[in-house]
């Protein structure tokens, strides 16, 4: 075995083999894979190995397309052909209009990635799949690229190609320990000796946490037992004369594909079971869990009803194996939070279909620092701290039970709720709050008029629409109060804090004491990495001169990692997270100043505390740090309160607000108002796929600054010119919001993609943001949005639809 290499990939399933191969493709050939047994002896060997193009967002569709193209190439390799049934086609069934709407949206979204899905009715489903009945069926989504692959030959082919490119694979070499050195390099200890390297990759499937423990981390990944069986030959399949398409059924929770002349049917039973929670037998290799068909009788019945021929044949083989789940169902592919030079590709529950793409995305991140698609949806840093094994197990069970039932917009499922709360959570619940989950935090979406009030989840505007309109009206005409918990907040101190931040932001962010500014961070490719508010808090009896860095609720680990990585060895900069210590109360509306004057002894006049100011004060007797910033477009105060004083501050504000018609408002009202102002959301509208000029943020870039992270690359991008631009659109139809990912069409071609959408209640317009081809991005330009199966006309309008002069904000 080599004694040194650049990257050690631990684990030889599809995740490890794909990563190794793609590292060589990205130009790194001095790389090694260590496998404790034989390749594919974890989960991969017994996978049903379906390979679909279907994904919940464009990144997932894009990486699955990569898998499919790669697998086709491997199939066609005359030297080592992989067995791949590509193009059998597959149908996702539906028996509700809301599911059909979802499929129409996913088809629109995939079109933007060059993938064509078809939404078909029940008769067409039965025509394409002669074994199914149309009972209780509305239709389905057809994926013409669907198929299945032989997992063992796929992994061998990837390893073979990687070896040819210079990589080495050591089988029967269990990793037994990991030591990280001061320079962030690693020694990987194995049964066969040690190997030093720059970077380690955990690709250990259901043993992820054994290797995680070796580096002192716990990954939010849990295994579930998962079963399928393979039937004897079915005469109708032989008679059909063509291969059967795949089926995935959210009505009865099973999937089905052809295996020889029979069917392979896999089940997601309600009575499901976690596996290996208390440790895994070291001899569980190439192994299965005991069969337990009794557990699946509930879903089996649904499969029999849909495919009566299934009930007529015997079962040949049963497979029950561990499959990994994360807390939100998507895998963890990227940097390991809190670690340097450590990556993971874990929590894959559809690793054969996705593995080609995930390995590609990870190799790009390792070699180039960023992948070609924004990888936030699979970024291991998207959960921050609350994702312990108990919570992950609850969400894994829920996810397993709902495998093919996608989340509707604004649907937040019941398992593992109340993971992160404040003293106000029960108070707001008593006021009628309907909560959403934001990175574990319970955040009020809107306030219900009665305890019985319910919304019907779907893709159209729902019953909360008039309530949100009322909340917006209260903010516009009087004053509203909104809790924003979990907002990320770092305190940055040290003598080099200013020059450090100046280097991190692409613009000039104010350094004046008592002032607040907004800044953007770029990666080394000149693309948008982050967005943060900087507040310069003067020294007081609460502390020395400090900078507060505020960013989105889920960005804590991501931003901390990015900032820490850039602190020079000789720089005096300290970053402390206050994210879980403080909560924001937003007071917004024309009467907000009057309320502030009633609760706090400071000068709150427009001259005494102008827009973009920060000061420490008391709200009643609750200590607070107040910033005059606004995401609603009304006069507003962001009141940051230590959690111990939150309820006291809330009571003071509610009390004083009574005289001014104060009303509680939630995140849906905020969403409506920010869309009318042209304000952006990180990871909805601010993506690593676009630079700040394309995203309409040129006023936050200062190319005259001597240097900032990403400047050289951005200079080149300026020379090359923009490919897309972010615009605001006004839709001609008010029935449903535009959903992120929907395609924008011109003359039958896709020319853009929606990032956000919603109704602007103050301007009475259905608005959307979209990235469109740069040469088409002029106000007045008209398009069609491929919107839930309809072509809805939309026209580009000015980004600030409400109060473009900012008169309200300045008060």
Angle of helix 151-164 relative to helix 58-75, nearest 10 degrees, comes to: 80
Q: Does 760 bind ligand FAD (CB under 6 A)?
A: no
Q: Does 13 bind ligand FAD (CB under 6 A)?
A: yes
Among 5, 11, 59, 357, binds ligand FAD (CB under 6 A): 11
Q: How far is CA 264 from CA 43, 47, 258, 305, 315, in A?
A: 17, 11, 6, 16, 10
| Helix or strand (DSSP H, E) at 67 | helix 58-75
Among 7, 8, 9, 14, binds ligand FAD (CB under 6 A): 14
DSSP 505: B
Half-sphere exposure of 223 (CA within 13 A, CB side): 23
| Helix or strand (DSSP H, E) at 237 | helix 235-240
Closest CB to ligand FAD among residues 215, 617: 215
Q: Does 36 bind ligand FAD (CB under 6 A)?
A: yes
Cβ-based neighbour number of residue 437 at 10 Å: 16
Closest CB to ligand FAD among residues 46, 663: 46
Report the candidate in 587, 662, 591 with the shortest Cα–Cα distance to residue 631.
587
DSSP 309-361: GGGGS-EEEEEEEEEEEESSSS-EEEEPTT-SSEEEEE--SSHHHHHHHHHHH
Closest CB to ligand FAD among residues 350, 528: 350
Residue 254 CA to residue 369 CA, distance in Å, equals 38
Q: Does 381 bind ligand FAD (CB under 6 A)?
A: no
Structure tokens, 788: 């839930």
Q: Under rule CB under 6 A, how many of the chain's residues touch ligand FAD?
A: 41
Least distance in Å: CB of 403 to ligand FAD?
A: 11
Among 43, 53, 258, 672, binds ligand FAD (CB under 6 A): 43
Q: Which stretch binds ligand FAD (CB under 6 A): 8-16, 233-241, 689-697, 711-719?
A: 8-16
Structure tokens, 401: 């039970």
Closest CB to ligand FAD among residues 133, 317: 317
Angle of helix 667-677 relative to helix 465-477, nearest 10 degrees, comes to: 70
Least distance in Å: CB of 39 to ligand FAD?
A: 7
- Strand segments (E) across 391-456: 433-438, 441-447
Least distance in Å: CB of 554 to ligand FAD?
A: 24
Residue 14 CA to residue 620 CA, distance in Å, equals 59
Structure tokens, 460: 């159209």
Among 132, 323, 396, 794, binds ligand FAD (CB under 6 A): 323
Residue 806 CA to residue 160 CA, distance in Å, equals 62
Among 31, 42, 724, 728, binds ligand FAD (CB under 6 A): 42
Q: Please list the helix, strand and coil fractions of the chain in percent, rounded to the nearest 5, in that order.
A: 30, 30, 40
Q: Does 479 bind ligand FAD (CB under 6 A)?
A: no
Closest CB to ligand FAD among residues 92, 226: 226
Report the candidate in 543, 523, 544, 546 with the shortest Cα–Cα distance to residue 534.
546
Closest CB to ligand FAD among residues 315, 436: 315
Q: Does 92 bind ligand FAD (CB under 6 A)?
A: no
DSSP 531-560: EEEEEEEPPBTTBSSEEEEEE-GGGHHHHH
Among 353, 357, 657, 666, binds ligand FAD (CB under 6 A): 353
Q: Which stretch binds ligand FAD (CB under 6 A): 7-15, 83-91, 114-122, 769-777?
A: 7-15
Residue 503 CA to residue 500 CA, distance in Å, equals 5
Q: Does 228 bind ligand FAD (CB under 6 A)?
A: yes
- Asked if 769 contacts 754 with a C-beta cutoff of 8 angstroms, the reply is yes
Of 654-713, which residues contact ligand FAD (CB under 6 A)?
A: none
Fill in the per-residue mask, 100 to 119: x = in contact with ligand FAD (CB under 6 A), - = not in contact. Answer: --------------------
Q: 215 burial class (0-12, 13-18, 19+ CB within 10 angstroms)? A: middle
Decide: helix, strand or coil at residue 494: coil
Q: Which stretch binds ligand FAD (CB under 6 A): 10-18, 489-497, 510-518, 729-737?
A: 10-18
Of 233-272, which residues contact ligand FAD (CB under 6 A)?
A: 266
Q: Which stretch binds ligand FAD (CB under 6 A): 21-29, 45-53, 656-664, 767-775?
A: 45-53
Of 622-641, which residues contact ligand FAD (CB under 6 A)?
A: none
Residue 1 CA to residue 32 CA, distance in Å, equals 10
Least distance in Å: CB of 273 to ligand FAD?
A: 12
Closest CB to ligand FAD among residues 223, 375: 223
Closest CB to ligand FAD among residues 349, 489: 349
Report the candidate in 55, 65, 52, 51 with the shortest Cα–Cα distance to residue 114.
65
Among 8, 31, 49, 622, binds ligand FAD (CB under 6 A): 49
Among 7, 8, 9, 10, binds ligand FAD (CB under 6 A): 10
Report the candidate in 16, 683, 689 with the shortest Cα–Cα distance to residue 333.
16
Closest CB to ligand FAD among residues 162, 518: 162
Closest CB to ligand FAD among residues 194, 655: 194
Q: Does 162 bind ligand FAD (CB under 6 A)?
A: no
Residue 788 CA to residue 104 CA, distance in Å, equals 5
| Helix or strand (DSSP H, E) at 792 | strand 790-797
Q: Does 55 bind ligand FAD (CB under 6 A)?
A: no
Q: Does 147 bind ligand FAD (CB under 6 A)?
A: no
Q: Does 41 bind ligand FAD (CB under 6 A)?
A: yes
Q: Does 352 bind ligand FAD (CB under 6 A)?
A: yes
Q: Which stretch binds ligand FAD (CB under 6 A): 29-37, 442-450, 526-534, 580-588?
A: 29-37
Closest CB to ligand FAD among residues 255, 759: 255
Least distance in Å: CB of 120 to ligand FAD?
A: 22
Q: Does 47 bind ligand FAD (CB under 6 A)?
A: yes
Q: Does 205 bind ligand FAD (CB under 6 A)?
A: yes
Least distance in Å: CB of 347 to ligand FAD?
A: 8
Q: How far is CA 520 from CA 272, 680, 706, in A?
A: 45, 12, 16
Q: Does 31 bind ligand FAD (CB under 6 A)?
A: no
Least distance in Å: CB of 402 to ligand FAD?
A: 17
Q: Does 351 bind ligand FAD (CB under 6 A)?
A: yes
- Strand segments (E) across 205-290: 221-231, 246-249, 254-259, 262-267, 274-275
Among 203, 333, 478, 535, binds ligand FAD (CB under 6 A): 203
Q: Does 37 bind ligand FAD (CB under 6 A)?
A: yes
Q: Does 362 bind ligand FAD (CB under 6 A)?
A: no
Q: How far is CA 691 from CA 93, 143, 723, in A?
A: 39, 33, 10
Least distance in Å: CB of 302 to ligand FAD?
A: 18
Among 144, 174, 409, 494, binds ligand FAD (CB under 6 A): 174
Q: How far is CA 33 from CA 39, 161, 196, 205, in A?
A: 10, 13, 13, 14
Least distance in Å: CB of 354 to ligand FAD?
A: 6
- Asked if 169 contacts 39 with a C-beta cutoff of 8 angstroms, the reply is yes
Closest CB to ligand FAD among residues 349, 382: 349
Which residue(s) pair with 637 in the sheet? 587
| Helix or strand (DSSP H, E) at 623 | strand 622-627
Of 427-456, which residues contact ligand FAD (CB under 6 A)?
A: none
DSSP 115-164: --EEEEEHHHHHHHSTT---TT--EEEEETT-EEE-HHHHHHHHHHHHHH
Q: Does 348 bind ligand FAD (CB under 6 A)?
A: yes
Where does this chain bind ligand FAD (CB under 6 A)? 10-16, 34-37, 41-44, 46-50, 174-175, 203-207, 210-211, 226, 228, 266, 319, 321, 323, 348-353
């Amino acid at each position: 075995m080599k004694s040194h290499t650049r990257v050690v990939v631990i684990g030889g399933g599809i995740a490890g083999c794909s990563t190794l191969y793609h590292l060589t493709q990205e130009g790194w050939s001095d790389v090694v894979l260590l496998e404790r047994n034989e390749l594919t002896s974890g989960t991969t060997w017994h996978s049903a190995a379906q390979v679909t193009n279907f994904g919940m967002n464009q990144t997932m569709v894009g990486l699955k397309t990569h898998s499919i193209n790669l697998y086709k190439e491997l199939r066609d390799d005359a030297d080592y052909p992989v067995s791949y049934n590509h193009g059998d086609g597959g149908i996702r069934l539906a028996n509700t209009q809301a599911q059909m709407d979802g499929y129409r949206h996913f088809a629109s979204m995939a079109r933007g990635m060059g993938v064509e899905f078809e939404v078909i009715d029940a008769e067409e489903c039965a025509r394409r799949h002669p074994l199914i009945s149309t009972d209780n069926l509305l239709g389905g989504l057809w994926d013409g690229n669907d198929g299945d692959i032989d997992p063992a030959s796929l992994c061998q082919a990837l390893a073979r190609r990687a070896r040819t490119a210079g990589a080495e694979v050591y089988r029967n070499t269990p990793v037994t320990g990991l030591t990280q050195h001061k320079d962030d390099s690693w020694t990987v200890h194995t049964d066969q000796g040690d190997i030093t390297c720059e970077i380690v990759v955990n690709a250990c499937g259901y043993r992820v946490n054994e290797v995680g423990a070796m580096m002192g981390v716990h990954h939010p990944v849990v295994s579930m037992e998962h079963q399928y069986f393979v039937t004897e030959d079915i005469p109708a399949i032989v008679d059909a004369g063509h291969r059967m398409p795949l089926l995935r059924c959210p009505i009865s929770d099973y999937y089905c594909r052809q295996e020889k002349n029979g069917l392979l049917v896999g089940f997601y039973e309600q009575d499901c079971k976690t596996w290996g929670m208390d440790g895994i037998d070291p001899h569980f290799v190439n192994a299965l869990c005991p069969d337990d068909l009794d557990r699946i009788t509930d879903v089996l019945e649904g499969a029999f009803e849909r495919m009566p021929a299934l009930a007529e044949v015997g079962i040949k083989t049963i497979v029950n194996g561990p499959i990994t789940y994360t807390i939100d169902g998507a895998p963890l592919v990227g940097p390991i939070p809190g670690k340097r030079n450590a990556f993971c590709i874990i929590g894959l529950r559809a690793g054969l279909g996705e593995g080609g793409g995930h390995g590609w995305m990870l190799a790009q991140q390792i070699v180039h620092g960023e992948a070609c698609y924004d990888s936030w949806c699979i970024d291991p840093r998207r959960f921050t701290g609350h994702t312990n094994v108990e919570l992950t197990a609850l969400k894994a069970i829920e996810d397993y039970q709902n495998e093919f039932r996608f989340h509707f917009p604004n649907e937040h499922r019941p398992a593992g709720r109340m993971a992160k709360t404040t003293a106000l959570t029960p108070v707001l619940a008593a006021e009628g709050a309907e909560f959403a989950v934001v990175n574990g935090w319970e955040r009020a979406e809107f306030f219900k008029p009665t305890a019985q009030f319910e919304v019907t989840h779907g893709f159209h505007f729902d019953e909360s629409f008039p309530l949100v309109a009322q909340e917006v009206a209260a903010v516009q005409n009087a004053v509203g109060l909104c809790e924003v918990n979990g907002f990320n907040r770092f305190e940055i101190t040290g003598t080099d804090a200013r020059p450090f931040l100046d280097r991190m932001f692409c613009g000039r962010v104010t350094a004046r004491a008592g002032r607040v500014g907004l800044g953007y961070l770029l990666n080394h490719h000149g693309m948008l990495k982050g967005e943060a508010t900087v507040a310069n808090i003067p020294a007081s009896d609460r502390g020395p001169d400090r900078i507060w860095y505020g960013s989105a609720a889920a960005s804590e680990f991501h931003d901390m990692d990015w900032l820490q990585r850039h602190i020079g060895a000789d720089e005096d900069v300290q970053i402390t997270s206050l994210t879980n210590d403080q909560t924001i109360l937003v007071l917004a509306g024309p009467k907000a100043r009057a309320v502030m004057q009633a609760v706090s002894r400071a000068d709150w006049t427009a001259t005494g505390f102008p827009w973009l100011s920060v000061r420490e004060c008391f709200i009643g007797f609750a200590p607070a740090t107040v910033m005059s910033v606004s995401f609603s477009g009304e006069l507003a105060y962001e009141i940051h309160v230590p959690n111990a004083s939150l309820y006291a501050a809330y009571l003071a504000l509610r009390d004083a607000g009574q005289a001014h018609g104060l009303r509680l408002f939630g995140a849906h009202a905020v969403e409506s108002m920010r869309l009318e102002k042209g304000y952006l959301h990180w990871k909805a509208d601010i993506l690593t796929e676009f630079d700040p000029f394309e995203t309409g943020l040129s006023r936050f870039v200062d190319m005259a600054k001597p240097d900032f992270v990403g400047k050289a690359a951005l200079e080149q991008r300026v020379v090359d010119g923009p490919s897309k631009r972010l615009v605001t659109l006004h839709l001609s139809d008010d029935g449903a919001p535009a959903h992120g990912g929907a395609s924008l069409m011109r003359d039958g071609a896709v020319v853009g993609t929606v990032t956000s959408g919603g109704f602007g209640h103050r301007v009475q317009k259905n608005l959307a943001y979209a990235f469109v081809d740069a040469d088409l991005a002029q106000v007045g330009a008209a398009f069609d949005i491929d919107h839930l199966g309809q072509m809805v006309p939309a026209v580009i309008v000015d980004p600030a639809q409400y109060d473009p002069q900012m008169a309200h904000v300045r008060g």
